[in-house]
Structure 1
C-alpha cells in the first residue's frame, strides 16, 4: 500500500483516538450508587382472641397516632368483666363490714382490674402517624392474640442503604447532607442526611446485579430522606453519588 493511501488512514485513526480520549476525559458520565427505599414499619397486633366487629381502615389510608383502627366484639371478656365487677362491689362491701379477709378482697379487685385492662384491648389504636401499608383481616374474621392486623409505615421520612467501596467511604461522614435522585420522576432530587455508616466491611448484597460487584467488600451507608409529599415509596430505587 502506498504512502498516499496510508496517510488518510492514519489521520482517521488519530482522529478516532482523539475523539475517544475527549469523550473519556471531558464527557464522562457520573457514577451513581443505587439504593432501595425502605420505611420504618410497625405491625399492629391483636392482644385478645375475638371476632372483628368494626374495621373502617383501608390500605393506603393515612392514620393519625391514637386513631381507632379496629373494634373487636369480645363478648366473653365483657361478660366476664361484668361479673368480676359485681363480685368486686360485693367484696368491697363485705370487706368494709369485716365479713371477708383483705386477701379475698384483693383477689376480687385484681380480677376486676385484669379483666378491665383486657377489655380495653378490644379497641385497637394506631401507635403512630403513618400510611397503612398492609391490611391482613376483614370484618367478621376471628383473630388470635399476636395476629397482625395492619402494617403501618411512616412515609414522611424514608431511608435507603447504599453500598460504598473502601476507597470512597472516607469521603462520607455521619450527619453529612446530601442529595439523591429518582430516575422515574425526571431525576427529581431528594434531600437526605447520612444517618449511619457500618464500621465493618461486608460483601455486596446478593441483589446487586453483577457477580463481580457481589465479590467486592463494601460499607453499608444509611441515608435518610425527607419525603413530605410521600413521593418516595418502599421498593423504589434512588441513585446517589456518594461522597463525590
Structure 2
C-alpha cells in the first residue's frame, strides 16, 4: 500500500513539473500577458564611399577596422589639376568683369574727343569742297573750265558730305556707349564664368572623402597611387550609431506592443542586458523569413519592428542574433 502511495505521489509530482514547464500543457501562458520575447538581429548598415571626380589617390590615413568620427578625412586625391582648374576659372571671371565694366561705363572721354575731332575735320573738308563746287559751277557755264573738272569737283563735294555723316554717326556711337543687349551678353558671360569657377571649386572639394557618420571602416578597396573613376568604391563604412535591432512579431501578438515601449536586448555569450525602445512597427505584413524564429509557429504572417538600442557598446556587433524581451507587453486577447 505504501508502495502504491509513493508511486501515486511521484506521478502527481511529475504532472505538476510537466505542467510548469509546458505552461499548463499549452493552455496557459505564452500569450496571456507578461514578458513577450522576440528574436532578431542587429541591423547591418553600411555605405560605399568614393570620389565624385576622377584622379590619383594621394593619401589614405585610415585602414580597415578603424573607428572614425563623422566628418573625419578618409582619403585625398592629388588636387593639383583641380586647383589649376579653379585658377583658370577665376582668371576667366576677372576678364569677364573687365569686359562688363567697359561696356557699362561707356567709352573714355579721349575716345569721344577723338571722334569729335574727326567730325570737325570732316566739316572743314566739306566746307572747302562746297566752296570749290560753287565757284566752279559758275565757271563751267562760261566754258572757263572743262566739264570733266567740274564733275570731279562735284564728286569731291558729295564724298565730303558722306564722310561728315559717317564721322557724326561715329561720334554719336561713342557718346551712346554699349547697347543694352551687349551689356546683357557681357553679364551672361560673367555668370557663365562664375558657374565654371563654382564647379571647379566643387570638384576640388570632392577630391576629399569624409565620413558621413561615425562608424567603422569595414573595407579599404584601393591604395594610394591608384587612379580612380567617379563613383568607384574606395571604402565601405559601417554605421553603428544609432544601433538598431530588426525583429519580427507574429500577427496575433501585434496588438500587444506599440512604439515607445521599453525593451531589453541580450545576445548569446554576452552577460550584459541592453536597454532599448521600439521605434518603428511596419504597417505591412510579411511572410516569416527563413532566418527568423518565432515562438508561435502557427502563423506565417509577421510584422517587422525596429528597436533602437540606447546604450550599445563594442560587444554588440552588426548582424549578431539577439533576443528582445518586452516586459510591458499587453495581455493577448483570447
Superposed CA RMSD in Å reads 3.2
What residue ranges of structure 2 are gaps of 5+ in the alignment? 24-29, 104-177
Q: TM-score, normalised by structure 1?
A: 0.81
Q: Give 1:215 deviation, angstroms.
A: 6.6
Structure-2 residue corresponding to 1:173: 258
Q: Would you tell me which structure has more strand in proportion to its own residues?
A: 1
The separation in 1 between residues aligned to 2:256 and 2:20, in whole angstroms, is 22
Structure 1 residues 169, 104: closer, same or farther in 2, change over 3 A? closer
Higher relative contact order (CA 8 A, sep 6+): 2
1:114: which partner in 2? 199
**Aligned residue among 128, 134, 137 for 2:222:** 137
- Does structure 2 retain, via aligned residues, the 8 Å contact 1:205–1:214? no
**Match of residue 20 from structure 2:** 25
1:84-127 C-alpha deviation (Å, 9 max, x unpaired): 22232233223323398223333222222221221121122222
Question: For residue 230 of structure 1, what is the aligned residue in structure 2?
Answer: 314
Q: 1:84 aligns with which of 89, 99, 119?
A: 89
Structure 1: which 5+ residue stretches go unaligned? none
Deviation of the 1:51 alpha carbon = 1.6
| Structure 1 CA distance for aligned equivalents of residues 231 and 47 of structure 2 | 13
Matches of 1:209 and 1:62 in 2, distance apart? 32
Number of aligned pairs? Answer: 237
1:12 Cα deviation after fit: 4.2
Match of residue 58, structure 2, among 49, 53, 64: 53
CA pair 201-14 structure 1, distance change in 2 beyond 3 A: farther
2:98 counterpart of 1:103? no
Deviation at 1:207, TM superposition (A): 1.8
> 1:37 — aligned with what?
42
Report how far residue 239 of structure 1 moved. 1.0
Q: 1:217 to 1:107 in 2, by over 3 A?
A: closer
Displacement of 1:219 after TM fit?
1.8
User: What is the DSSP-based 3-state SS (H/G/I as helix, E as strand, rest coil) of the residue aligned with 2:269?
Assistant: helix
Query: Is the 2:270–2:315 Cα contact (8 Å) retained in structure 1?
Result: no
